[in-house]
Each structure stands twice: as structure tokens, then as C-alpha cells.
Homo-oligomer: A and B are copies of this chain.
Amino acid sequence: MSVIYALDLIGTFVFAISGTLSAANKKLDLFGAFFTGFITAIGGGTLRDLILGNFPVAWISDLNYLLVITLGVIATFLFKNMIMQLKRTLFLFDTIGIGVFTIIGIEKAISLSIHPVLAIIMGLFSAVMGGVIRDTLCNDIPLIFRKEIYAVACIVGGLLFLILKYLHVDPTVNLFVTVICIIVFRLFCIRYKLSLPVLKY
């Protein structure tokens, strides 16, 4: 099992947990929670594959994604108090998930000869659209539009990944450097309360 595949499954697992926690917040039932966890985990990658015309979409041809999501939802139901206390750990895995999803999206786009700038947008879509759909279904304005330099971290990481790729850095090294850069960037912005300007009327 390759490193990126393992990280992809970890990211999927963590995204399923985050979706299930959102559902709990809205008092959804077990099905609503499973569905929200599922959409959060596969939404970004599915939309990316649809836009790229890359069929069948990832989770249709590999049952492991569904398995990992199911485990994430069940774990959240069984151990919700413990999970709530693991906020720091969850945050770390969430950031890893974002980083890995960004890079998987870029890699898929590049392999289909998409322009690098659009490849970064595809990476961003992979990383954030699951959460955007989750928030829209739960009747919230997507979190990512309002708080934190979450998306900028993906874009910066994606740029770095592309630059190192064109410099022929070893793919696994590049993956680790980029994901660590995304984590550090995100922590740094949170620590110093950096945020993007807001457009006001």
C-alpha cells in the first residue's frame, strides 16, 4: 500500500468524523449522520472527478473508501465524548487530510494534462468541496468562506508541490514536505490570528 493511498484513507476517515459531528450538532438521526459523513468524505473528490470527466469516480471502484467512512461514522457514534476531547489530534489529522486531498487532486489533474493553475484549483476542490457540501446540506454558510486561512493553506501547499515536482524532487519527499508546509502554515495563521480581509458594503 503506497503512502499516499494510506494517507488518503486516513483523510477520508477524519472527514467522515467531521461530517458526523456536524450532523450531531444539527440533531440528525443515524442515517443523516452517515449520509453527512459520507458526503463530507467523498464530496470533494467526486466533484473533482466529475469536472475532470474521470470515470468511474474514486470511491465507486474501491470499496475501502466506503469501509473507512463507515468506521468513522460508527466510531463517532460510539466514542463521541472521547473524540470531542481529541480535538487537537482531530485537527492535526484534518489538516493532513486537507493536504493529502489537495495533492491527490493536483496529481489527477496533471495526469490528465490540465494547466497547472487549474490543477491547483482541482486540488483545492478536492480538499474543500466536501466540507462546503456538508455545510450547505446542514443549512450553514460554508465555514471555509468565513473563517481561517484554510483555503490559502491548500493553495500555498499546492504551489509548493508543483514547484518541487518540476524540480524533480522525489514524490514521497515532496508529499511530506508539502503536507508539513500546509500544517505549519495553518497553525501559524491560527496562532497569530491571521485572516483574509472581508469585503463590506
Contact = CB atoms under 8 A, between A and B. Distances in A.
A118 B137 CA distance: 22
Interface in A4-34: 20, 23-33
Interface residues of A, number: 58
A149 to B, nearest CB: 8
Interface string A133-164: 00011111110111101011000000000000
A20 B197 CA distance: 13
B29 A195 contact: yes
A199 interface: yes
Nearest to A73: B199
A146 B30 contact: no
Given A20-B199, A80-B201, A145 B35 contact: yes
A117 interface: yes
16 contacts: A20-B199, A24-B199, A25-B201, A27-B146, A29-B195, A29-B196, A30-B196, A32-B146, A53-B56, A63-B115, A63-B117, A66-B121, A137-B145, A139-B139, A139-B140, A139-B141
Interface of A: 20, 23-33, 35-36, 46, 50-53, 55-57, 59-60, 63, 66, 76-77, 80, 84, 112, 114-115, 117-118, 121, 132, 136-142, 144-147, 149, 151-152, 195-201
